[in-house]
């Protein structure tokens, strides 16, 4: 069974720092990995999708990487801002559209 893990469950970082969120998965035959942001009481907003043939994707201050051999993905946030505070979820697709989600990292940016 494919599993996706996110550690730590919570992270606090001073404003302006760069930070990395981690996501690990058990099946190297991953089709793609998607990072989402979820604000309290809200839905999921897609941030980045990395397909298996890609190694990284960038959008503004966000950069996501995918290493299939080690079973890891990272989401790098540059120059963090209080508005980046949210829960970040990663989800892997293993051969079809069904997503397997991690339980998320709750990020707090301290002004």
Partner 1 sequence: NAGVTQTPKFQVLKTGQSMTLQCAQDMNHEYMSWYRQDPGMGLRLIHYSVGAGITDQGEVPNGYNVSRSTTEDFPLRLLSAAPSQTSVYFCASSYSSQGYEGYEQYFGPGTRLTVT
Sites of contact with partner 1 (CB under 8 A): 31-32, 34, 36, 42-46, 49, 51-53, 89, 91, 93, 96-99, 101-104
- Choose between 43 and 83: whose C-beta lies nearer to partner 1: 43
- Choose between 97 and 111: whose C-beta lies nearer to partner 1: 97
- Choose between 86 and 89: whose C-beta lies nearer to partner 1: 89
DSSP β-ladder status, 105-110 and 10-14: parallel
> Torsions phi, psi of 84, nearest 5?
-80, -10
């Amino acid at each position: 069974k494919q599993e996706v893990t996110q550690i730590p469950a919570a992270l606090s970082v001073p404003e302006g720092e760069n930070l990395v969120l981690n996501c690990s998965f058990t099946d190297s035959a991953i089709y793609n990995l998607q990072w989402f942001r979820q604000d309290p009481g809200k839905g999921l907003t897609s941030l980045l999708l990395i397909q298996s043939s890609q190694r990284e994707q960038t959008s503004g201050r966000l950069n996501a990487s995918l290493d299939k051999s080690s079973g890891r993905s990272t989401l790098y946030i540059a120059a963090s801002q209080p508005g980046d505070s949210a829960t970040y979820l990663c989800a892997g697709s293993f051969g079809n559209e069904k997503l397997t989600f991690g339980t998320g990292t709750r990020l707090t940016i301290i002004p």
